Amino acid sequence: MRVSILQDKFKKGIDQVMGVVEGKHTLPVLQNILLKTENARLMIVGTNLESSIEIVVGAKIDIEGQITLPGKTLQALIAKFPAERVDISVDYATLTATIKCGTSKSQLKGIDAAEFPLIQPMNSIDFELSAAALKGIIQHALPAAAKERNRPILCGIHLVSDGNILEVQAADGYRLYCATLELPSGTPIFNVVLPIDSMKLLVKLITTDVDSVGINVGGARDVWMFQCKHTTLSTQLLEGKYPDIVAIIPRTYNTKMVLYTADLLNAVDRAQVFGHDNAYSMKMEIMPPTGPGEPGVVTLTGYSAERGMLEGSLDATVEGDALAVSFNSKYMLDIPFEDERLVLESNGPQSAIVLRPENSDHEVYVMMPISTAR
């Protein structure tokens, strides 16, 4: 194997595949990156068995071949090289790659590529989505997905298609996020759960130069593939049935409030200075207008038995009953909406707090209340 590639292209490709390469693994080859030439192209591949990233980069191929090299060492080495041509040649008798750039010359011991797990190629695209729309909806869902592994199925993003609408769902038992996205005609029907770690990788791979994402739903295989230009992400699906979280979203309310998103988040952030001593518990009191033409008022209080308290008030449009409810301030600060104003709805202090953008019915974020320690 003998190839030449520009340092910046090589570095970018390595940095991306290192998102799935584990520094320590019981299988040494999984600590390595696969370099493989195919059809006069250089392919850079990394995997942790659950997810795989494959990148095709432009390179000058003098002799075809393949080898796996230690990921962390290769990444550190290429990052130190100047922005010049990198020449790679492999001695298969010793499984050693000689890497030259400028006046530098290095040798890396590798592992036979035959020991690297077989990565299924992406032979077809079942449907495409706008890169910006897909990235946005996944970014919004990720904070609500479970991080603890005691309920593995919740450590994923639930995707459901009826062929026309994509539903994206995430929940951790204390909060949930649901959103819908229109699908192009001909989209297959599916009901799958994708690991959050893979979805975090997908978000990183959807860079500003990616206009659309091609998706292969895997058919009989429990593998989904996402193609972002010259990069392909493969991911195993999570096993199990995702709970029907949509059924627990209230459809009616006794109290409704509309206010500016930034004002609410800033007030929560200030009060959290004290609230984090109390398991991030924060109290919210919503008062309807006292007279015609008057605004409603929402008061947020963060309290610490040791350090004190902070109280702040905001004007809001309020309909219905007064409400006093406590919530986790960290969850409130994870509100994914970028809209100027949001709507908050509730049926009482023991009921779910429902939040949605003022002018959109495509997204909803729900938090369960908590009891106060005050």
Which CATH number does the domain housing residue 278 bear? 3.10.150.10
Residues 174 and 263 grouped into a single domain: no
Q: What is the mean pLDDT of residues 269-280?
A: 84
pTM over 0.75, yes/no: yes
Distance (Å, rounded) from C-alpha 136 to C-alpha 203?
Answer: 8
Q: What is the pLDDT of residue 278?
A: 78
CA 66 – CA 98 distance, rounded (Å): 13
pLDDT digits (tens, 9 = 90+) for 110-131: 999 999 999 888 889 999 999 9
Q: Within 13 Å, how many C-alpha atoms sit on residue 317's CB side? A: 8
Show the domain range for 192: 127-245
- Over residues 136-193, the pLDDT tens digits come to 999 999 999 999 888 999 999 999 999 999 999 999 999 999 999 999 999 999 999 9
Residue 374 included in any domain: no
Q: Considering the chain, what percentage of its residues have pLDDT values greater than 70?
A: 99
Total Cβ atoms within 10 A of residue 214: 17
Is 275 in the same domain as 253?
A: yes
As a whole number of angstroms, the distance between CA 367 and CA 280 comes to 14
CB 188 within 8 Å of CB 181: no
Q: What is the mean pLDDT of residues 215-238?
A: 90
Mean pLDDT of 296-308: 90
Averaged pLDDT of the chain: 93
Helices (H), 234-346: 261-275, 329-333
For residue 44, the SS3 value is: strand
Pairing of strands 156-161, 223-228: unpaired
70 & 82 share domain: yes
Question: Is 241 a member of any domain?
Answer: yes
- Which two three-digit tokens encode residue 216? 């292969």
pLDDT tens-digit series, residues 338-370: 899 999 999 999 999 999 999 988 999 999 998
What pLDDT does residue 205 have?
A: 96
Q: Which of 245, 267, 288 is the last residue of a domain?
A: 245
- Tokens in use for 66? 């393949």
Tell me which of 157-161, 212-216, 247-251 is least confident: 247-251
Q: Does residue 122 form part of some domain?
A: no
One domain for residues 69 and 161: no
The answer on 363 and 254 residing in a single domain is yes
Sign of CA dihedral 267, 272, 274, 280: positive
Residues 104 and 132 reside in one and the same domain? no
What is the per-residue pLDDT for 293? 86
Do the domain assignments include residue 121?
no
Q: How confident is the model at residue 303 (pLDDT cuts 50, 70, 90)?
A: confident
For residues 109 and 209, state if they share a domain: no
CB 304 within 8 A of CB 277: yes
Q: Is 49 left (phi over 0), alpha (psi -120 to 50) or beta?
A: left
Model confidence at 284, in pLDDT bands (50, 70, 90)? very high
How far, in Å, are 26, 71, 202, 299, 304 from residue 20 at the CA level?
Answer: 15, 10, 11, 45, 41
Instruction: Report the share of the chain in percent with pLDDT over 90.
Output: 84
Asked if 4 and 87 touch (Cβ cutoff 8 Å), the reply is yes
Q: Looking at the predicted structure, is the pLDDT value of residue 250 above 50?
A: yes
Between 221 and 211, the higher pLDDT residue: 211
For residues 204 and 149, state if they share a domain: yes
Asked if residue 199 belongs to a domain, the reply is yes
Query: Please, what is the Cα angle at 364 between 128 and 373, to 5 degrees?
Result: 140
Number of domains in the chain: 3
Asked if 167 and 276 sit in the same domain, the reply is no
Q: Has residue 120 been placed in a domain?
A: no
Please give the helix or strand (H or E) that residue 179 lies within, else none: strand 175-182
Alpha-carbon 57 to chain mean position:
25
Q: 256 and 209 in one domain?
A: no
| End position of a domain, from candidates 245, 277, 293 | 245
Last residue of a domain, one of 219, 245, 271: 245
Based on the fold, state whether residues 218 and 297 are members of the same structural domain: no
Note whether residue 185 is domain-resident: yes
90 pLDDT exceeds 90?
Answer: yes
What's the average model confidence in pLDDT over 79-99? 97
Q: Are 282 and 228 members of one domain?
A: no
State the pLDDT confidence band at 374, using cuts at 50, 70 and 90: very low
pLDDT exceeds 90 at position 277: no
373 pLDDT more than 60: no
CA distance 210 to 355: 31
Sign of the alpha-carbon dihedral angle for 181, 182, 183, 189 = positive
Tens of pLDDT along 36-47? 998 889 999 999
> What's the pLDDT score for residue 219?
66
Does residue 324 fall inside a structural domain?
A: yes
Please provide the distance, in angstroms rounded to a whole number, between the alpha carbons at the two ends of the chain: 69
Structure token pair of residue 301: 């209080």
d(Cα 203, Cα 216) in Å, to the nearest integer? 17
